[in-house]
Homo-oligomer: A and B are copies of this chain.
Amino acid sequence: MSLPHAILTALLEKPSSGLELTRRFDKSIGFFWSATHQQIYRELGKLEQSGLIEAIPQPPSRGQRKEYKVLPAGRTALLDWVGQEQDPKGVREPLLLRLRAAAVVGAPGLQGELQRHLALHEQQLTEYLEIEQKDFPAERAAEENRLQHLVLRAGIGLETFWIQWLTEALTGLPDPARS
Chain A residues with a Cβ under 8 A of chain B: 2, 5-6, 8-9, 12-13, 29-34, 75, 78-79, 81-83, 85-110, 113, 116-117, 120-121, 145-148, 150-151, 153-155, 157-158, 161-162, 164-165, 168-169, 172-173
Pick the residue among B34, B85, B108, B116 that contacts A85 (CB under 8 A).
Answer: B116
15 contacts between A and B (CB under 8 A): A2-B94, A6-B101, A9-B100, A9-B104, A78-B101, A81-B101, A82-B106, A83-B108, A88-B93, A91-B154, A99-B150, A100-B148, A150-B168, A157-B164, A158-B158
Question: Is B157's CB under 8 angstroms from A165's CB?
Answer: yes
Docked CA distance A107–B8 (Å)? 15
Chain B neighbourhood of A6, CB < 8 A: 97, 101
Chain B neighbourhood of A117, CB < 8 A: 88
Docked CA distance A31–B89 (Å)? 10
Closest to A98 in B: B82
Question: Is B120's CB under 8 angstroms from A88's CB?
Answer: yes
Question: Is B151's CB under 8 angstroms from A105's CB?
Answer: no
- A104-B9, A104-B13, A105-B78 are contacts. A121–B91 as well, Cβ < 8 Å? no
Question: Is B157's CB under 8 angstroms from A169's CB?
Answer: no
Chain B neighbourhood of A5, CB < 8 A: 97-98, 101
Docked CA distance A3–B127 (Å)? 31
Docked CA distance A90–B31 (Å)? 7
Question: Is B146's CB under 8 angstroms from A173's CB?
Answer: yes
